[in-house]
Amino acid sequence: MEIRTHQQDCQKKMGFVPEVTLGCSGQTMPVIGMGTASYPMPDLETAKSAIIEAMRAGYRHFDTAFAYRSEQPLGEAIAEALHLGIIKSRDELFITTKLWCSFAERDQILPAIKISLQNLQLDYVDMYLIHWPVRLTQHVTKTPIPKEQVVPMDMKTVWEGMEECQNLGHTRGIGVSNFSCKKLEDLLSFCKIPPAINQVEMNPLWKQKELVELCKAKGVHLSAYSPLGANGTKWGDNRIVECDVLEGIAKARGKSTAQVALRWVYEQGASIISKSFNKQRMRENLDIFDWCLTEEESNKIIQLPQHKGVTLASILGPHDLVLEIDADL
Ligand SMILES: NC(=O)c1ccc[n+]([C@@H]2O[C@H](COP(=O)([O-])OP(=O)(O)OC[C@H]3O[C@@H](n4cnc5c(N)ncnc54)[C@H](OP(=O)(O)O)[C@@H]3O)[C@@H](O)[C@H]2O)c1
């Protein structure tokens, strides 16, 4: 994995988005991606316009999932951005999508990625992630899910299916999301293609210290979702954007609290998946690569009390297996 120094980054110009090299594949990924999970999900045209606006602002990395229902607007936005000349080729983009839990079975994985590719109007995605390490026996129409429909996932055969997706060229890379240290080590013990990424919640109030260290040691890149604590969504709150310590640092530096949180995540060596469909905030969130936190500021952030925000139980219901996954992460 490519290592950059803060000093090198601080010399970069505003608007520049650094890239990270994933594993040993040589695949590169912009270190900030635009999330597309939105609550409530806006209509297709609104989501599509926001994504096109993000491309105009300089985003080239987009994070979607079958479960977000944002694959289709992202696909439409890519097609229109090509038509308008905002991007010259699809290859300029890094597109991540995810295998939803109701497809987490060996014979469902190829059909699932094909549905996602069709939604996205693409021949391949850049990254395909297992969304959560659990299987749902039925397609979800509403949540919470009845307890009997939430069952353990057979990680060996599911990963075989993920490897097949990569071998067939449907995705350039494969990885996981919401995998604890234990689950990641288990997967690494038998996989033929190692996961390039583990996408998990990470922010100044949920530092994931142990997982960050394990990922570094094993060459798995950690990607941080909800870096702003999912401010204003059903699954998050304002504890990051209204955190006194972050606000104090932000005021002193002439930055926003959100920028301080995003910069901190980046300085931990993680990539950032943050979402904004607001023209000004999406630009603000990109403007974090030409300055650094001081040692004193980082030390203040390290001391912040920890509190996990996103839980699977809040989505699927407080079932034993779900609570086990939440407790592990
Ligand atoms: N793998 C997983 O299980 C998983 C779970 C959760 C999320 N994700 C991915 O990660 C992405 C980001 O995570 P997230 O959406 O949960 O949370 P987030 O990026 O931490 O926060 C998004 C929220 O913060 C607001 N916001 C954005 N920029 C802001 C700023 N500068 N100041 C104040 N508020 C700001 C946004 O509102 P506006 O749009 O109005 O700006 C939005 O409501 C998701 O969209 C999704 O793609 C993955």
236 lines ligand 1 (CB under 6 A): yes
Q: What is the CATH number of the domain that holds 158?
A: 3.20.20.100
- How far apart, in whole angstroms, are the C-alpha atoms of residue 221 and residue 283? 25
Write 91-95 long-range contacts (CB < 8 A, 24+): 92/60, 93/60, 93/61, 93/62, 93/126, 94/29, 94/30, 94/33, 94/60, 94/61, 94/62, 94/126, 94/127, 95/61, 95/62, 95/64, 95/120, 95/122, 95/125, 95/126, 95/127
In a domain, 134, yes or no: yes
Q: Does the pLDDT at position 182 exceed 60? A: yes
Tell me how far the alpha carbon of residue 191 lies from the centroid of ligand 1, in angstroms.
Answer: 31
275 lines ligand 1 (CB under 6 A): yes
Does the active-site annotation cover 68?
yes
Indicate the number of domains in the chain. 1
Tell me how far the alpha carbon of residue 231 lies from the centroid of ligand 1, in angstroms.
Answer: 7
Write down the pTM of the prediction. Answer: 0.96
The closest residue, in CA terms, to atom 32 on ligand 1 is 258
Average pLDDT, the chain: 94
In a domain, 290, yes or no: yes
Give the lowest-confidence range in 42-46, 59-63, 144-148, 149-153. Answer: 144-148
Q: How confident is the model at residue 120 (pLDDT cuts 50, 70, 90)?
A: very high
In a domain, 75, yes or no: yes
Q: How confident is the model at residue 49 (pLDDT cuts 50, 70, 90)?
A: very high
131 is in an annotated binding site: yes
Q: Which position among 39, 59, 68, 128 bears the catalytic label?
A: 68
Tens digit of pLDDT for each residue in 309-328? 999 999 899 999 999 999 99
230 lines ligand 1 (CB under 6 A): yes
pLDDT at 201: 97
Tell me how far the alpha carbon of residue 228 lies from the centroid of ligand 1, in angstroms.
Answer: 6
Tell me how far the alpha carbon of residue 274 lies from the centroid of ligand 1, in angstroms.
Answer: 5
Q: Mean pLDDT across the stretch 25-53?
A: 95
pLDDT at 16: 81
In a domain, 272, yes or no: yes
96 lines ligand 1 (CB under 6 A): no
Q: How confident is the model at residue 13 (pLDDT cuts 50, 70, 90)?
A: low
Tens digit of pLDDT for each residue in 236-275? 999 999 999 999 999 999 999 999 999 999 999 999 999 9
- Name, in order, each residue with C-beta under 8 angstroms of 255's C-beta and a sequence gap of 6 or more: 249, 263, 291
Q: State how far the alpha carbon of 155 is from the alpha carbons of 68, 188, 237, in Å.
A: 23, 11, 32
Parent domain of 177? 6-328
The number of the ligand 1 atom at minimal distance from the alpha carbon of 200 is 1
In a domain, 1, yes or no: no
